[in-house]
Amino acid sequence: MRKIIFFALLAGLFLIPIAGFGVIRLNNPLNATSFEAVINDVINFVFYIGMALVPLGIVVSAFYFFTAAGDVQQVGNAKKILFYTLLGLAILLLSKALGAIITAILHI
């Protein structure tokens, strides 16, 4: 019974703005006027998140190197982490450059 009352009140809270104010307007949160601008915003977001994670990967790899104490498997894990971090960095940089190259070729 308590669940029914809870969901009825919750539904009422969502229906009050619709019934009381009529038209609901949604503003564009991306501030983009074209599809290309949306794609560029998404690429920039992923680029900056990835660039923030690269130093973290390097620090984790260094931690594994320092704490290995001669353990071959842990040194191997540190090398893998560093390799994939640098590979991710290369992919990030190439993806940003590829977008600029395609834009220059197509004259968009």
Q: Is residue 74 in some structural domain?
A: yes
Q: Could you tell me the end-to-end alpha-carbon distance of the chain, in angstroms, rounded to an integer?
A: 61
Q: Is residue 77 in some structural domain?
A: yes
Position 78 scores a pLDDT of 94
Q: Is residue 24 in some structural domain?
A: no
Position 14 scores a pLDDT of 63
Q: Is residue 20 in some structural domain?
A: no
Residue type, position 18, single letter: I
Rounded to whole angstroms, how far apart are CA atoms 65 and 28?
47
In the chain, which residues have pLDDT < 50? Answer: none
Position 43 scores a pLDDT of 83
Q: Is residue 18 in some structural domain?
A: no
pTM as predicted = 0.63
Nearest to 43 by CA among 107, 106, 91: 91
* Half-sphere exposure at residue 46, Cβ-oriented, CA atoms within 13 angstroms: 13
Q: Is residue 1 in some structural domain?
A: no
Q: Is residue 8 in some structural domain?
A: no
Position 37 scores a pLDDT of 79
* Count of structural domains, the chain: 1
Position 85 scores a pLDDT of 96
Q: Print the domain residue range for 46.
A: 31-106
